[in-house]
Copies of this chain bind each other. A is one copy, B any other.
């Protein structure tokens, strides 16, 4: 089926707020964006029909039936027992079995993290976190984590995120000694919660990390730091607040919308940044925004392929000597 350089991505064809047609559009757009990508898609029979009717090349996109769909708001308590035949789990299993090199899902974060940890295992004893490339100016990026894998974090968790983030930034951003900063309410050394102060003390002890102190949320998109470390609660709030304002600006009504399009900073288009990677599990798992459009979901698949290309998982293991 594939040539030597081909990359196979397992796709959770359920989850997400849109239907099957949306998945099909995303699949074909991803193939255009990344010519060496093959997909194995897990989903309901209706998705197979859709793929056929849209004449998606079966040589590049294999369909496999998944009888279960995990609802977006499913609690994590019984995920392992209840959703054995879900599209999300089967797609992860596909990575576990070595059939695919990466997995993409727009499903719920909670179930995805639990299933990924269970099936793929974690790297060392580090706590996995969702990391995303965020825009930091024209053609520049920072890496930010955690974006919501852990609503409750300890200072040790934040140190884990720093180590994972520093390693990943070298591979994803190509930066040798990435500057790390902790997201905080001020840059003065005494500011912040107990968690932040404790994490700062831990990070200052890590000689291998290029820790540069605190960063405030209004500087997130300015490239002041290469890696922004935060707990999953604050990270999620920061990114969603930013998205909220972005949406208000880009969806102003009437004639203003024309001006808004003309004014748009090209480097700040959220759909270009869809797909956060679950760092800290032994395999490449990409989480797409649940309400991602076709284009954005395709971008998440491309992020998966690029992560494979950069040798992300083995690179992190090397870097952290795991």
Contact = CB atoms under 8 A, between A and B. Distances in A.
B193 A151 contact: yes
A233 B185 contact: yes
Contact of A262 (B217, B236, B237, B259): B259
A208 interface: no
A215 B185 CA distance: 21
Contacts of A186: 73
Contact of A237 (B238, B246, B257): B238
Interface string A250-274: 0010001101101111001000000
Interface stretch (A23-31, A49-57, A165-173, A218-226): A218-226
A151 B186 CA distance: 10
A205 interface: no
A44 interface: no
A81 B232 CA distance: 39
A241 interface: yes
A245 B220 CA distance: 9
B265 A263 contact: no
B245 A246 contact: yes
A255 B244 CA distance: 25
Contact of A242 (B192, B194, B245): B245
Contacts of A193: 151-152, 233
A294 B252 CA distance: 28
A188 B73 CA distance: 7
A238 B241 contact: yes
A287 to B, nearest CB: 14
Contacts of A239: 217, 241
Nearest to A253: B265
Contacts of A248: 221, 265, 268
A101 to B, nearest CB: 30
A118 interface: no
Given A192-B233, A256-B263, 9 more contacts: A73-B188, A75-B188, A183-B237, A185-B233, A216-B240, A218-B243, A249-B265, A256-B264, A262-B263
8 contacts: A151-B185, A183-B237, A185-B232, A217-B244, A237-B241, A241-B242, A256-B264, A263-B263
Interface of A: 73, 75, 148, 151-152, 183, 185-186, 188, 190-194, 196, 216-222, 232-234, 236-249, 252, 256-257, 259-260, 262-265, 268
